[in-house]
Amino acid sequence: MNFKRFPKLLIAFTLALSLFVSACTGTTSAPPQGNPSVSSPAQPVATQKPVSGGSFNQFFPKSEDEYKVVFAQEKTGFAEAKLNENGQNVAMLSINDVANNPSAATKYQSSSKTIDGFPAVSQGTTSTAILVANRYQVKVQSRSDSFDADDREEWIGKFDLQGLSKLK
């Protein structure tokens, strides 16, 4: 056996093996599909970090007349308030950031109804929701039979939807 060729064979074998292994890693140099900074209607960007729940409070409706808005819960990407009429809870108001849950926004893609220009859906007989800026779900849920779909739509319209649409 010719041992003088052994280092050259070893180098060639190592080079070939490294090329084979790197080809099998599955990385690609192709550019990503689509532009993540531009989303089509009702398709949120799924790679953004959810905003803090406290940052939503400024967009909730204000208390008025016999209606009082009482904040109930805040957590990352979510805030909720009770809507009380003369001390009785008649509805729950909420804002939910769906940035990391794009499937939550798919129900808005086929919506033919809008509220203040935003796609709207009814969820069962007690909830109405819209999707703002392809990212924020604003929902009103009835807690009283006297608080109907028209009331829910009216209270969705009392949120600062334009301000919310600018939140990043």
Mean pLDDT throughout 21-36?
A: 46
pLDDT at 34: 41
Residue with tokens 């180098």: 11
109-143 pLDDT, tens digit each: 989 999 999 999 999 999 999 999 999 999 999 99
- Phi and psi, residue 89, nearest 5°: -70, 115
Q: For the chain, give every domain's residue range.
A: 53-162
CATH architecture of 53-162: 3-Layer(aba) Sandwich (3.40)
C-alpha 5/C-alpha 133 separation (Å) is 67
Highest mean pLDDT among 4-8, 53-57, 96-100, 156-160: 156-160
For 60-88, write each residue's pLDDT tens digit: 999 999 999 999 999 999 999 999 999 99
